[in-house]
Structure 1
Amino acid sequence: MAQKPSIPKGTRDFNPEQVAKRNYIFNTIRRTFESFGFQPIETPSFENSETLMGKYGDEGDRLIFKILNSGDYLAKADSQAIANRDSQSLADSISEKALRYDLTVPFARYVVQHQNDIEFPFKRYQIQPVWRADRPQKGRFREFYQCDADVVGSDSLWQEVEFVLLYDAVFTALNLKGVHIKINNRKILSGIAEVIGAREKLIDFTVALDKLDKIGEAKVKEDMLSKGISQEGIDKLQPLFSLKGTFEDQMGSLKDMLLTSEIGQKGIEELAFIHSAISTLGLSTARLELDVTLARGLNYYTGAIFEVAAPKTIQMGSIGGGGRYDDLTGIFGMKDMSGVGISFGLDRIYLVLEELHLFPETVTKHIEVLFINFGEKEALFSLKAIKQLRLKGINAELYPDPAKMKKQMNHANKRHIPFVVLVGEEEMVSNTYTLKDMNSGEQLKVSLEALISKLE
């Protein structure tokens, strides 16, 4: 007996209903991106290994899927690596390409490679799959889509303001209310580390601070002490642990705390600008909140940092994030190209919309009318009408076989097709169509013009 087929761990099949719902999210995000002036680009599914390797740190490098060279790849393999069972050196000699890990590094490569053809500032969006050799678990897959938007070639803070508005516009279009857009600034975190005498331990400090809502104040302090941050410095953090109130209240407390830090004050100025603009412009469904514990990859971001949280009634991780980076293209030798970008977490947004029953019913309705097949002549007569319906933008199809009527009706019911059309000898003589509403059971004999009007 043949073995039952399967798919690799961490990948998924999607049925027609799931694809329709995912496309609804994709299309909503795509329309909003374009309304904000972002232009689409696409990059290859795989890149040269040197493009990707070394850009994500040791952990990231281990998660990159490598592609074996074509043909007899062992012919050019490093024989010394084989003898020494050195998997890393062996991989380098038998694999010159790799599946992309994210959309950011390929975008940086794209900008550098096409810099003479790009008009800066360049606003791009990209919706494509990425691959990571991660351990599959709930909400984490080896193949998944990223939905990114970035602006490169401008250090204007109006871009950050636009991204807050973009997040709000997408979640408003998806009817997802109660979303929290959390914001912080890398300069503020650098300033805090400076004030408490932990400038050299910035990463350790922020990694510990980022756990505040998970492990609590006492454990965070213990973690900081264990990383070599002094008790005196931790005591200076006390106002941070009790930071509450409105955006303005928290900013006031931070100003006092960072009075002696030039970089910290700069970060506060940037956040104040963004908050003031958003307060004037207003948001439709989302809420902008200051979160000084937000870190998001400090080796990468240099200014504003964003993270989007689902409504508090839903137990879900972040559904979006991003921030400002000052040297994205520097990894490929093109210096001083500042940018800012955000990403949407498609899979988590899907789960949130599903749990809150926010997908419109029409999303999964592909065919609006099915023509029953009574035989060759009737089928040809029906297809003439179907052709006209399709020209009017009405999704219609003919059941392919002249099967028993009960079977054809059951087929329409199982596919949730709202209308069926019956064409027999009588209808062909009178040039009419019998339209049946599958919900009410009502039947009407109509002309082609009336049929189109009813279905429209």
Structure 2
Amino acid sequence: MAQKPSIPKGTRDFGSLEMARRNYIFDTIRSVYRLYGFSQIETPAMENLSTLMGKYGEEGDKLLFKILNSGDFTRSVSTADYEEASAAALAAKFCEKGLRYDLTVPFARYVVQHREELQMPFKRYQIQPVWRADRPQKGRYREFYQCDADVVGSDSLLNEVELMQIVDEVFTRFGIRVAIKINNRKILTGIAEVIGAADKIVDITVAIDKLDKIGLDKVNEELAAGGLSPEQIQTLQPIIALSGSNADKLNTMRQVLASSEVGLKGCEEVEFVLNCLGDDLTNVIELDLTLARGLNYYTGCIFEVKALDVEIGSITGGGRYDNLTGIFGLPGLSGVGISFGADRIYDVLNQLELYPADTASGVDLLFINFGEAEAACCLRMARQTRAAGISTEVFPDAAKMKKQMNYANTRNIPFVALVGESEMAAGTIALKNMTTGEQSTCTLDEVIARIKG
């Protein structure tokens, strides 16, 4: 017996119902992006590894899916290379391309490559899949969609304010209660300076970013492994566990960071964003100093969104990246962006059953097939119902009535049209409402009016 086919771990198939729900997510996010003046672009699924490597930190580089070169890619590698080289070194010889890890770095490459064609500030959104060689678990996949919006060519913090309004609007439309977390990498840099570990900012942020996942003790172990002394780790404890209102936290941090110019600048930026937003958001926004966003390219405000009613990881994230395009030869171009995790949002909406009732609706009308002549008549009528915006099917086979009606029930088609010899002669249609069971004789115009009404 042939083995049943399967798909790689961390990937998923999506049937028609799932796709209807996913398209609801994409369409909702897309509509809000457009309201705020963002334009859509797309980039290739694969990029040159020279574009991707070194942009996500050491941990991110390990999660890149690399693509083997075409042809005899082993020809230039000797037996000695196989024996002496590490897996990473061999991968560098075998692979020149990789699947994109996120949409931000490819976007930075796009901006540099097409700089002369773009009007600054450039506001783009992008909804495409990304790939990470991660360990699959609940809410974490190897292939998943991101829905990004970025603004480049502007230093203004009003961009951060607008992105938080977009986040709030999207989740309000979904009906998902969320907490929007905000922090600033300058604050974290200031903390590192104050405790005398300015060169350990990456170790500190990567460790702090894992607080929710591994707990305080494990974070402290990682900080120690990163070279921080017990005294320095101890100094970090009250900062990590800071509580109170946003204003209280900022006041405390100003005192802690009094000797750090960059740290105070971070407090100032967060305060500006929070003050501009005021009480206008439907969802809560709070300063969270444990938020680190482990990607190395963030330089200013950083954001993360957590669902309040479902146990799942971050469902949206982003931040300011002042220097990202500089690595591609275009220094001095500031950017800020957010990314909605469509797959996690999908899981949250499923668990909370928040999809609108009409999300799964597909076909509105099915014509029953009684034979060759009747089917030809139904095809002509279907052209007119489709022209009126009604999703219509004509059953392809002159099968038994029971089979065709079962098909309509299984597909949740609300109306069935029966056109036999007598209906053809009279120029009428027997229209059955599959919800109520009511059947009536109508003209084609009346069918269109009833279904659209």
By how many angstroms is 1:434 displaced? 0.9
Match of 1:63 in 2: 63
Amino acid at match of 1:426: S
Amino acid at match of 2:310: I
Match of 1:146 in 2: 146
Match of 1:434 in 2: 430
Amino acid at match of 1:173: R
The change in CA–CA distance for 1:165 and 1:356 in structure 2 (over 3 A counts) is: same
Match of 1:339 in 2: 335
Amino acid at match of 1:452: I
Contact 2:220 2:233 (C-alpha < 8 Å) held by counterparts: yes
Match of 1:10 in 2: 10
Aligned length: 452
By how many angstroms is 1:181 displaced? 0.7
Match of 2:246 in 1: 247
Provide TM-score, normalisation by structure 2.
0.93
Separation in structure 2 between the aligned mates of residue 252 and residue 239 of structure 1, nearest angstrom:
14
Amino acid at match of 1:399: F
Contact 1:78 1:90 (C-alpha < 8 Å) held by counterparts: no
Which range moves more in the overlay, 197-206 or 31-40?
197-206
The change in CA–CA distance for 1:368 and 1:56 in structure 2 (over 3 A counts) is: same
Match of 2:101 in 1: 101
Amino acid at match of 1:199: A
By how many angstroms is 1:173 displaced? 2.0
Residues 251-400 of structure 1: matches in 2 within 5 Å? 251-279=250-278, 282-283=280-281, 285-297=282-294, 299-311=296-308, 313-400=309-396
Separation in structure 2 between the aligned mates of residue 218 and residue 295 of structure 1, nearest angstrom:
17
Match of 1:116 in 2: 116
Gaps of 5+ in 1: none
Separation in structure 1 between the aligned mates of residue 50 and residue 152 of structure 2, nearest angstrom:
23
Amino acid at match of 2:142: R
- Partner residue of 2:403 out of 396, 404, 407: 407
Separation in structure 1 between the aligned mates of residue 82 and residue 184 of structure 2, nearest angstrom:
47
Gaps of 5+ in 2: none
By how many angstroms is 1:239 displaced? 4.7
Contact 2:205 2:294 (C-alpha < 8 Å) held by counterparts: no
Separation in structure 2 between the aligned mates of residue 67 and residue 329 of structure 1, nearest angstrom:
24
SS at match of 1:361: coil
Provide TM-score, normalisation by structure 1.
0.92
By how many angstroms is 1:216 displaced? 5.9
Separation in structure 2 between the aligned mates of residue 234 and residue 66 of structure 1, nearest angstrom:
37
Amino acid at match of 2:200: K
SS at match of 2:32: helix
Amino acid at match of 2:132: R
Contact 2:139 2:347 (C-alpha < 8 Å) held by counterparts: no
Amino acid at match of 2:4: K
Separation in structure 2 between the aligned mates of residue 52 and residue 171 of structure 1, nearest angstrom:
31
Over residues 236-271 of structure 1, what are the superposed CA-to-partner deviations in whole Å (9 max), with x where a residue is unaligned? 556535532222222222222222221111111111
By how many angstroms is 1:55 displaced? 2.8
Contact 1:38 1:125 (C-alpha < 8 Å) held by counterparts: yes
The change in CA–CA distance for 1:122 and 1:15 in structure 2 (over 3 A counts) is: same
SS at match of 2:117: coil
Over residues 96-131 of structure 1, what are the superposed CA-to-partner deviations in whole Å (9 max), with x where a residue is unaligned? 322222212211111111111111111111111122
By how many angstroms is 1:337 displaced? 1.4
Residues 136-175 of structure 1: matches in 2 within 5 Å? 136-175=136-175
Which range moves more in the overlay, 264-273 or 251-260?
251-260
Separation in structure 1 between the aligned mates of residue 169 and residue 329 of structure 2, nearest angstrom:
36
Separation in structure 1 between the aligned mates of residue 101 and residue 150 of structure 2, nearest angstrom:
17
The change in CA–CA distance for 1:286 and 1:326 in structure 2 (over 3 A counts) is: same
By how many angstroms is 1:170 displaced? 1.1
The change in CA–CA distance for 1:185 and 1:94 in structure 2 (over 3 A counts) is: closer
Amino acid at match of 2:91: A
By how many angstroms is 1:330 displaced? 1.7
Which range moves more in the overlay, 81-90 or 249-258?
81-90
By how many angstroms is 1:165 displaced? 0.4
Which range moves more in the overlay, 85-94 or 25-34?
85-94
The change in CA–CA distance for 1:37 and 1:62 in structure 2 (over 3 A counts) is: same
Separation in structure 1 between the aligned mates of residue 403 and residue 295 of structure 2, nearest angstrom:
61
Corresponding position: 1:204 with 2:203? yes
Amino acid at match of 1:206: T
Match of 2:451 in 1: 455
Amino acid at match of 1:302: T
The change in CA–CA distance for 1:102 and 1:219 in structure 2 (over 3 A counts) is: closer
Separation in structure 2 between the aligned mates of residue 182 and residue 172 of structure 1, nearest angstrom:
16
Which range moves more in the overlay, 360-369 or 71-80?
71-80
The change in CA–CA distance for 1:126 and 1:452 in structure 2 (over 3 A counts) is: same
Match of 1:181 in 2: 180
Contact 1:81 1:87 (C-alpha < 8 Å) held by counterparts: no
CA RMSD of aligned residues (A): 2.3
Contact 1:78 1:93 (C-alpha < 8 Å) held by counterparts: no
Residues 87-98 of structure 1: matches in 2 within 5 Å? 87-98=87-98
Percent identity of the aligned residues? 59
Contact 1:198 1:205 (C-alpha < 8 Å) held by counterparts: no
Contact 1:186 1:304 (C-alpha < 8 Å) held by counterparts: yes
Contact 2:100 2:130 (C-alpha < 8 Å) held by counterparts: yes
Contact 2:69 2:96 (C-alpha < 8 Å) held by counterparts: yes
Contact 2:130 2:145 (C-alpha < 8 Å) held by counterparts: yes
Which range moves more in the overlay, 416-425 or 61-70?
61-70
Contact 1:186 1:298 (C-alpha < 8 Å) held by counterparts: no
Separation in structure 2 between the aligned mates of residue 214 and residue 93 of structure 1, nearest angstrom:
35
By how many angstroms is 1:65 displaced? 2.5
Amino acid at match of 1:418: P
SS at match of 1:273: helix
Which range moves more in the overlay, 353-362 or 290-299?
290-299
Which range moves more in the overlay, 243-252 or 58-67?
58-67
Contact 1:78 1:89 (C-alpha < 8 Å) held by counterparts: no
SS at match of 1:182: strand
Contact 1:370 1:419 (C-alpha < 8 Å) held by counterparts: yes
SS at match of 2:320: strand
By how many angstroms is 1:317 displaced? 0.8
Contact 2:56 2:296 (C-alpha < 8 Å) held by counterparts: no
